[in-house]
Amino acid sequence: MASRSFGLLLFLDVNNPCTKLGEGLKAIDWYGTLSILAITTLLLIGLDFGGTIFPWNSPKVICLILFGTLIIGFFLFNEQRLAEYPLMPLALFKSRSNNAAFLIVFSRAIVLTGIEYYMPLYLQSVQQASPLWSGVLLLPLIIVQSVVEITAGFLIYRTGRYREFI
């Protein structure tokens, strides 16, 4: 982790204009930030409470999920109409290439989160591996994944083509 941060410090060319603190604070999409925080909190708490602490048809669970979903509409309205510098510019979703990349990244995140979370549990509980050994058993996945990602990034940089890798 530290080596990645060090590499970014050395090689990342960031245009850093001198902006006054007040101007910088005004440029932040506060409504977008607060609404995405509310959406995430309400939906996750509603989904966590449902079926465990409260039944799924309880008013508390229904309200949490309903209001979390309704705030998505406000968030989209804010990003489209109100925010000068939106947190998530909706124009990003007009490109088929972007949408394909978003879908692939989302799918990959779900699969890898499942693998990285459940494989150690499986190895430790079913195969009776120690935590250290379950980490060692995951090394082939991590190494192959790293090599493929580095190679794809290099090839995209060299060829300028990215659709094939998506």
148-160 per-position pLDDT tens digit: 989 999 999 999 9
104 plus 138 within the same structural domain: yes
Question: Does 51 lie in the same domain as 64?
Answer: yes
| Weakest-pLDDT range from 11-20, 27-36, 109-118, 144-153 | 11-20
Q: Is the full-model pTM beyond 0.75? A: no
State the total domains in the chain. 2
Instruction: Answer with the one of 90, 105, 134 that is the final residue of a domain.
Output: 90
- Both 26 and 84 in one domain: the answer is yes
Q: Are residues 107 and 77 in the same domain?
A: no
pLDDT band for position 3 (50/70/90)? low
Which of 90, 115, 133 is a domain's end point?
Answer: 90
Q: End of a domain among 37, 66, 90?
A: 90
Q: What are phi and psi of 54, to 5 degrees?
A: -125, 155
Q: Are residue 134 and residue 159 in the same domain, yes or no?
A: yes
Residues 52 and 77 occupy one common structural domain? yes
Q: Model confidence at 68, in pLDDT bands (50, 70, 90)? A: very high
Same domain, 108 and 147: yes
pLDDT at position 146 over 60 = yes
- Do 70 and 133 share a domain, yes or no? no
Residue 100 sits in the same domain as residue 163: yes
Q: φ and ψ at 50, to 5 degrees?
A: -65, 120
> What pLDDT does residue 59 have?
94
Computed over every residue of the chain, the mean pLDDT equals 89
> What confidence score (pLDDT) does residue 40 get?
96
Residue 1 has pLDDT above 60, yes or no: no
pLDDT class of 12 with cuts at 50, 70, 90:
confident
Residue 147 lies in domain: 95-166
Residue 14 lies in a domain: no
Q: Are residues 111 and 156 in the same domain?
A: yes
Domain presence at residue 9: no
The verdict on 103 and 81 lying in the same domain is no
Partners of 121 in the beta sheet? none
Return the pLDDT at 9.
Answer: 74
Phi–psi pair at 92, nearest 5 degrees: -60, -25
Same domain, 147 and 125: yes
